[in-house]
Amino acid sequence: MTDSTCHNPFANMRSLISDPTILPKTEYAERKLENGLHLICHADPSSPIVTLDLIYHVGSRFEEPGKTGYAHLLEHLMFDGSPHLKRGEYDRYCTMVGGENNAWTSSDLTNYWIALPTEHLELGLWLESDRMEGFGVTQESLETQKKVVIAEKRQVIDNVPYGNAGSVIRELMFASGHPYRHEPIGAIEDIRQARLDDLRHFFDRYYVPENAVLVIAGNLTAEETLDRTEEYFGDIERTSSRENFITPSPDSKRTGKRQRVVDPITPLNATFVGWHVPGSESHDLYALELLGIILGSGDSSRFRLALEYDPLIASEASAFIDEGELGSIFCAYAIAQNNRISPHQLEESILCEIRRVTIEGITERELTKVKNRKTTSIAQSLLSISERAERIARHTALFNDPSLAWNEADLYEQITVDDIISVAENYLCAVEPVVVEFIELKS
């Protein structure tokens, strides 16, 4: 008898994540300081570096109308001055010992990380605690970073074919006043008009110990590291000024809206289709993510076979989820092979493939393949101490569960063929999507 697992090199991929000889053990120590800061130390004796990953539970959804882009702007500004650090000194201190740093901002979270040689842990603690201690941005820094952010928006969104697709989809899907209506980078006019006092107020409200998770990961002794970290962060004052965010009403979500974008930089016709799907805490999101991979990721994906190979109507087709705490967006798109292919043809082909999932189902082989692909991605991210620290911080900030950094693969493993069919039917086929068509502006 032939052992079927011999034909599947990923058959035991799930066990890889729990194998301490391949990936680090699920070990960490936690401490909640009196000021509310959540500390986590993850010890990995094999790591030559130490990573500090600091997540603030604030993103663009906490911004007020007319003051969009503040969280992303502050992401830039917090590298450009703090109470005891002048402009440029954060990066100078970091790089002079061989370290590196970066940050990102989403609708819900802002993440800062710094990686240093292990012997320079205290430098990292000092740099990060000084930024949390108070607002130290100057007017000069603000004016500089405004220009940087505006240039970034023009470079990655405004002057890129289909670059504004996400913005248009959000405006169609969410009514005015919904916190997900705008993208994290914000509106150029709001960025231009941002004042130092407004940013200081935003900082004082959200960039505070009780709204943050700090993960320290590396070749460390947990209790000793937590004690040392508390010495740097423990005296930072807790604030009571942060206002609880009010969840928007369901009425502020919209379906069935359509818009055509005629743009001179559009090289080929394209269609983007969006649906409302549940937020981060929903188990259905795991099934939807696997459905997105089945439809749009890889050479054997449904979209690739049906739109790019036979017939040749698309040069590119894919699907992805823009995840959010208050609700997520499932987006599918296709870019035409040539401009004889209309956006309507692309839309019909996308919807046809999704309907086919609900009518014909998917195979166990397809499901196993996408589970293996997702598990491999998780395993690869856990191999990096910095990515592991970020996963721990993110899962703690969103779900108050650091162990999900490792155990998330179990949630994908539980998904069945029926789950995939169910989410396709309930979230995608039963609701009219929003549709954005891109066409070339002809001279």
Task: Identify the CA nearest to 339 among candidates 317, 318, 313, 319.
Answer: 313
Residue-wise pLDDT for 357-371, tens only, equals 999 999 999 999 999
Q: Give the pLDDT of residue 252.
A: 86
Whether 97 shows a pLDDT value over 60: the answer reads: yes
Instruction: Report the pLDDT value the prediction gives residue 7, as an integer from 0 to 100.
Output: 40
The CB density around residue 90, as the number of other CB atoms within 10 Å, is: 21
Residue 20 token pair: 């301490």
C-alpha dihedral (370, 376, 379, 383), degrees to nearest 10: -150
Reference 63, options 213, 253, 203, 175; nearest CA is 203
Mean pLDDT of 192-198: 97
Tell me if 50 sits within 8 A of 58, measured CB to CB: no
* pLDDT score at 243: 60
Q: What pLDDT was estimated at residue 310?
A: 78
Minimal CA–CA distance to 79: which of 60, 92, 70?
92
Position 425 scores a pLDDT of 98
Q: Tell me what pLDDT residue 15 has.
A: 54
Within 8 A by CB and 6+ apart from 45, the residues are 219
pLDDT of residue 427: 98
Identify the pLDDT of residue 25: 67
Right CATH for 26-233 from 3.30.830.10, 3.40.109.10, 3.40.50.850, 3.40.50.2300? 3.30.830.10
- pLDDT band at residue 151, thresholds of 50, 70 and 90? very high
CA distances in angstroms from 282 to 35, 117, 408, listed in the order given: 30, 38, 13
In angstroms, the CA 269 to CA 317 distance is 12
**pLDDT surpassing 70 at residue 13:** no
pLDDT in tens, 332-347: 999 999 999 999 999 9
Higher pLDDT, 442 or 282: 282
Q: Tell me, what's the pLDDT at 245?
A: 58
CATH 3.30.1490.20 fits 255-440, yes or no: no
Is 0.95 surpassed by the pTM of this model?
Answer: no
**The two three-digit tokens of residue 39, written as one number:** 């500390």
Q: Which two tokens stand for residue 146?
A: 């405004």
Average pLDDT, the chain: 92
- pLDDT at residue 249 is higher than 80: no
What would the two tokens of residue 16 be? 């890889």
* Region(s) of the chain under CATH 3.30.830.10: 26-233, 255-440
Q: pLDDT grade, residue 6 (50/70/90)?
A: very low
Query: How many alpha carbons lie under 13 Å from residue 61 in its C-beta half-sphere?
Result: 23
Burial status of residue 250 (CB atoms within 10 A of its CB: 0-12, 13-18, 19 or more): exposed
Distances (CA, A) of 116 to 28, 93, 432: 20, 11, 50
Looking up tokens 């993208």 gives 183
* CA distance between the termini of the chain: 67
Using the predicted structure, report yes or no on whether residue 111 has a pLDDT greater than 50: yes
Helix/strand/coil for 245: coil
Burial class (CB in 10 A: 0-12, 13-18, 19+), 410: middle
pLDDT at 5 over 50: no
Predicted pLDDT of residue 443: 57
pLDDT of residue 313: 95
Residues 6+ apart with CB under 8 A from 412: 286, 289, 290, 371, 374, 375
Residue 19 has pLDDT above 80, yes or no: no
User: What's the pLDDT tens digit per position in 154-164?
Assistant: 999 999 999 99
Q: Which segment of 42-56, 110-124, 233-247, 307-321 scores lowest on mean pLDDT? A: 233-247
The per-residue pLDDT for 22 is 56
For 257-409, list the strands marked E by DSSP.
258-263, 270-277, 314-322, 328-336
- Pairwise CA distance, residues 55 & 41, whole Å: 14
